């Protein structure tokens, strides 16, 4: 049975603070702004990390919505449909993240029950987990999920290149042989 991973949306999957800077508004003001959540861009590596996790775990997006901006919930669903289309039926909204049971919670905050989550709270953007690569590496190592290291990936790249070159060489040899037989008047059908 697959283990369960919950991932926060704001400033974990989606760049909340970056959009605040771009729009020249405070984070407190942003959460009350209609249309704000729809404009967020994915955090670097977030979409790829979601896809990797989704291959091995049951993954749910676990987010809160400000009470003062009911539009935020719809905007977050629309954001997920655009950037993570396979996840839009796996969205949970709660101000009490600790009520959800699972193995991992990836969140940039300890608020809304994240600190009390029963399971492993992976606090992204912390010194221990500064980015998505460190999060994936930690969870995959803890779960003994084997992925290629850079040496393995390099070896696969080299082997693929050699196989492609061999295939090209065989194709050229066959083409040369057919042309040679044709020029010698030995046409076969």
pLDDT tens per residue across span 147-187: 655 554 554 556 555 556 655 666 676 677 667 777 777 76
Looking at residue 65, its pLDDT comes to 82
**Spatial distance between the Cα atoms of 1 and 182, rounded to a whole number of angstroms:** 61
Residue 15 has pLDDT above 90, yes or no: yes
Any catalytic annotation for residue 10? yes
Any catalytic annotation for residue 107? no
Q: Helix, strand, or coil here: 172?
A: helix
Give me the percent of the chain exceeding a pLDDT of 70: 82
Strand order in the sheet with 91-93: 91-93, 58-63, 4-7, 104-107, 120-123
Looking at residue 181, its pLDDT comes to 72
Q: Which residues contact 78 (CB under 8 A, 6 or more apart)?
A: 38
Q: Mean pLDDT for the chain?
A: 84
Chain centroid to CA 26: how far? Answer: 27
Residue 57 has pLDDT above 60, yes or no: yes
Q: Helix, strand, or coil here: 7?
A: strand
Which of the residues 10, 15, 107, 108 is marked catalytic? Answer: 10
Residue 67: Cβ-neighbour burial (10 angstroms; 0-12, 13-18, 19+): exposed
Looking at residue 120, its pLDDT comes to 86
pLDDT band at residue 122 under the 50/70/90 scheme: very high
Which of the residues 8, 15, 107, 108 is marked catalytic? Answer: 8
Mean of pLDDT values over 43-53: 92
């Amino acid at each position: 049975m697959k283990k369960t991973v919950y991932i926060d949306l704001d400033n974990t999957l989606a760049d909340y603070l970056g959009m605040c800077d771009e729009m020249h508004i405070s984070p407190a003001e942003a959460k009350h702004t209609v249309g704000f959540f729809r404009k967020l861009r994915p955090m670097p590596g977030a979409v790829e990390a979601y896809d990797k996790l989704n291959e091995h775990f049951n993954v749910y997006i676990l987010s809160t919505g400000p009470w003062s901006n009911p539009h935020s919930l719809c905007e977050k669903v629309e954001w997920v449909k655009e950037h993570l289309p396979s996840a839009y039926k796996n969205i949970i909204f709660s101000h009490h993240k600790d009520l959800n049971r699972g193995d991992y919670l990836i969140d940039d905050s300890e608020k809304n029950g994240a600190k009390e989550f029963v399971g492993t709270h992976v606090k992204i953007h912390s010194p221990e987990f500064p980015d998505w690569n460190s999060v994936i590496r930690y969870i995959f190592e803890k779960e003994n999920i084997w992925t290629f290291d850079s040496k393995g990936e390099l070896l696969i790249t080299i082997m693929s290149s050699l196989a492609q070159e061999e295939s090209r060489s065989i194709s050229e040899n066959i083409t040369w042989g057919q042309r040679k037989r044709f020029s010698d008047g030995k046409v076969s059908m």
